[in-house]
Structure 1
Amino acid sequence: MSRVPLARRRVLAAGAAAAVVVAFDPVGLGWVTRAQADAGTGGLAVPDLDGELVTDAAALAEAAEDYGQIAHRRPRAVLRPGSVRDIVEIVRFANRNGLSVAVRGQAHSVFGQAQAPAGVVIDSRTLAEIRSVGPGAAVVDAGVTWLDLVRATVPRGLTPPVATDYLGLSIGGTLSVGGIGGASSRHGLLVDTVLALEVVTGAGELVRCSPRANRELFDAVLGGLGQYAVIVRATVVLVPAETTARVYRLSYPDLGSFTAAQRTALADGRFSYLEGQVVPGEGGWDFVLEGVVYFTPPNAPDDARVVRGLPAPAATEIAELPYFAWLDRITALVEQLRALKLPNPWLNLFLPDDATDRYVAGLLSRLAPADVNGPILLYPVPRGRLTRPLVAVPDSPVVFLLSILRAVAPDEATVRRLLADNRAEYERARALGAKQYPIGAIPTRPADWPSHYGAQYPRARHAKAIFDPRGVLAPEQGVFG
């Protein structure tokens, strides 16, 4: 593999020089090696970097795939930055030379959202340092995973207030899309728990932003789908961590009782964490409310009080785990599934409360259990906790997340059919006031995005014009054509 740190290229032995990228050919749209440059091939000099620019086949192939295994679009180069300065230099270089740029963290996207066909992919895994951890906040590089962070904070009695169910996501990637989990019922999305950011705008400017400094940029970047800037560092909220998680799984035979129980639990805040799943049952579907109470002994919850006032479940299971073990409960499973490289045509929607039961009942009548092969999540969050203007959700006091996280056999016809089904379901849901949570595999069209953002669309277009005027960032999201 030709991995050559550009900052050290002048001291390479002559035998290695043939693999070194030293320039870009804007006519042939290719990279010029040291050997080619010495032979007289022209090109535009690539800036000196602290990290490495990689063009070998293995690196390009890796950057052309993700967890979803559906989209495979190769870049022309991969940057493994050794510093934030490298990102500034490459984004500026891309602006001068008409290249696109995307950031790839843990590659957990499922529809090519972090790819950059014929452009440059920035691999954020090489910028992954936890800079500080203290009461109230942690400062982290964008390539740090949430698992890295909770491993560092929980032993100190601290935790992020919200965690995604799978912790192996990069912090920068999660903050670019929103980030949701069971504790969103109390604390909003992960983007609602950020105090400050350092970003490189699409124009190549390194900027610190927060609610008090460069607020327009701060609001655009959080949940902005990578359209306006590359997140390089974040200051995220930490709160005191309890030591124990008591998990309540309440099974319901029908959708109405299940969502009624969720609405009651959401309204009175009895759970620290509130989610739910739809699972195949005998002759239909079963519904499981999953609620968790975090505590530190001896202050254990009263089980009878916790479930009091909810519709009577058909079955109740109560389990107890250490807090960290609960947060980390599915990491091993996800990594096993990742290794299988199965297509993941996920459907992710935010539904308005008053349409949720009607839409989900119809969806389940159309959905074949054989087409699922993964969890179906359905749970509510209060709209008032969601504060970021470019995270589009229905105008409803309560919003339900619906996620069909399926993995299917690598059959092209099946994947095409399920993508078409996702599009049809999106259109049905949108007619009822729903929005997509744009982490899934819904084929979109340019005309979808003004509807998606609604009254915030002019704000999104203005931010794009100001912060990424040449449109170099995150091309595969398709937000601006």
Structure 2
Amino acid sequence: MSFFGKQNILFLKGFMILFLSCIATRFNFCLSNNPFSLKTLPLEGHLSFDETSLNKASKDFGNRYQYHPMAVMYPKSVSDIATTIKHIWHMGHSSHLTVAARGHGHSLQGQSQTHGGIVIKMESLKVPEMQIHVGNSSPYVDVSGGELWINILHETLKYGLAPRSWTDYLHLTVGGTLSNAGVSGQAFKHGPQISNVQQLEIVTGTGEVVNCSEKQNEELFQSVLGGLGQFGIITRARILLEPAPSMDVERHLSRLNYIRSTLFQTEVTYVEFLDRVHVSEVKLRSKGLWDVPHPWLNLFIPKSKIHSFAQFVFGNILTQTSNGPVLIYPVKKSKWDNRTSVVIPDEDIFYLVAFLTSAVPSSNGTDGLEHILSQNKRILEYCQRENLGVKQYLPHHNTQEEWRDHFGTKWEIFSQRKFVYDPFAILAPGQRIFQKTITTS
């Protein structure tokens, strides 16, 4: 055989080896994104691949975005969550799989969803069991990250205690609200819910289970609070408690400065007051008006800009009857910890202004969604144009450049922490802050 003939054979052999190597790489890539690789995981809970579960996990309260996952996990232990994330992490950039922790699904823009990934149904996580500690120090309760706040309220009231800070809707999970901030009318006194938590247990984006607090793994602790799920999944939290308020109405009124002739009062129990939104939910569900699009807009407005904001928005944009309530809460910056991931205005006093609109079908067959979205866009454009220093609460942005603007001076540390705790961008893809990079070779 001639020299050139041998060269051709060697070339063909090399080409075949390279070709087969590429095929193997492609095969491994496909295998890593195949549900069968997940079915081999040793779990106490289970993964579901049926259409009913997948369809439910592809929707949220906002009812505007639908991203279909590959599977839904119903964990029984923290180990289930850690094992699954570690499995995906070991695949590295060869897998497209991402993980979205889903609490009660009350997100507005698909934040608790993942396209082709795994949705973890956090309400299935019932460990550790709720433990209430009453002693010489401040009382607290240890709860699962998937526990609902309404359940915590019922249990702590048996001891005459209650968490210090709330959200206006209690059928939300602990992990879900702590990943955002947790704000309601009590925030001016005690701060948001993230200012009233002592310890956390986290599963990071590498599948590591980490306990953290202000004294232990402090950077992770501060990162996760208000971190939009980017650094880890909250599996346990220690929540501070206080004595539940009494029904002494006159004592409470005596602290207020008001015109007595304008007083209108209704006496309800503490549970009825805190759970008032759920009563409305039940009524709306009975009329088929709950599962509609909710294009809510929540903003933090600096005190120095609140009058100009209100004058323009309510005088020029929201001139017609609203399709939902508008909440306005004053908040003190001193009650917030600037070390957390939450972004707030740079003033001592700011306001949460929440436009809680619902796109309810009208008599002429239109749902009004586009009109509400147009109003929201005009409000945001006005805030940006006039440089009001406004920040979105429960934020939603379409590009990373917009996210950079949102975080401002916090962006660099936020992105650095992402690289440390979730280097492959496995967690919370529905926030659309970081894009997972896929390689097939």
Q: What residue in structure 2 maps to residue 118 of structure 1?
A: 116
CA distance in 1, matches of 2:374, 2:265: 39
> How much identity, in percent, do the aligned residues show?
33
CA RMSD of aligned residues (A): 2.3
Deviation at 1:245, TM superposition (A): 6.9
What is the aligned length? Answer: 390
- 1:170-200 C-alpha deviation (Å, 9 max, x unpaired): 1110100100011111100000000000010
* Partner residue in 2 for 1:382: 332
Structure 1 pair 45–67 and aligned structure 2 pair: CA distance change class (3 A): closer
Structure 2 Cα separation of the partners of residues 454 and 479 of structure 1: 14
One-letter code aligned to 2:54: L
Residues 283-432 of structure 1: pairs in structure 2 closer than 5 A: 300-301=250-251, 303=253, 305-308=254-257, 315-337=262-284, 340-368=290-318, 372-388=322-338, 389-409=340-360, 414-430=368-384, 431-432=387-388
Structure 1: state its 5+ residue gaps. Answer: 1-23, 33-42, 247-299
* 2:158 matched residue in structure 1: 155
Mapped partners of 1:365, 1:202: distance in 2: 46
Residue 107 of structure 1 aligns to a residue whose secondary structure is coil
1:317 partner SS: coil
Distance 1:126 1:434, change over 3 A: same
Find 1:450's aligned residue among 385, 401, 404.
404
With over 3 angstroms needed to count, the CA separation of the structure-2 counterparts of 1:215 and 1:302, relative to structure 1, is closer
Q: Indicate whether 1:138 and 2:141 are aligned.
A: yes
Q: Which residue of structure 2 aligns with residue 68 of structure 1?
A: 62
Return closer, same or farther for 1:108/1:92 CA change in 2, 3 Å cut-off. Answer: same
Which structure is richer in relative contact order (CA contacts within 8 A, separation 6 or more)? 2
Conserved? CA contact 1:25–1:31, under 8 Å: no
Deviations 1:417-443 (A, max 9, x none): 43343233223224200100025xx55
Separation (CA, whole Å) in 2 of partners of 1:181 and 1:476: 24
Does the 8 A contact of 1:426 with 1:436 survive in 2? no
How far apart are residue 343 of structure 1 and its match?
0.5
What secondary structure sits across from 2:251 in the alignment? coil
1:175-186 superposed matches below 5 A: 175-186=178-189
Q: Call closer, same or farther: CA 1:460–1:313 in 2, change over 3 Å.
A: farther
Cα pair distance change 1:25/1:333, threshold 3 Å:
farther
* CA spacing shift, 1:104–1:335, aligned 2, 3 Å: farther
Match of 1:252 in 2: none
Using structure 2 for the length normalisation, give the TM-score. 0.83
Q: Distance in 1 between matches of 2:112 and 2:165?
A: 24
> In the aligned structure 2, how far is the partner of 1:222 from the partner of 1:205?
18
CA-to-aligned-CA distance 1:209-262 (integer Å, 9 cap, x gap): 00000000000001000000000010110111123274xxxxxxxxxxxxxxxx
- Asked if 2 retains the 8 angstrom alpha-carbon contact of 1:81 and 1:87, the reply is yes
State the TM-score, normalizing by the size of structure 1: 0.76
**Gaps spanning 5+ residues in structure 2: where?**
1-26, 436-441
* Structure number with bigger Rg: 2
- Amino acid across the alignment from 1:460: F
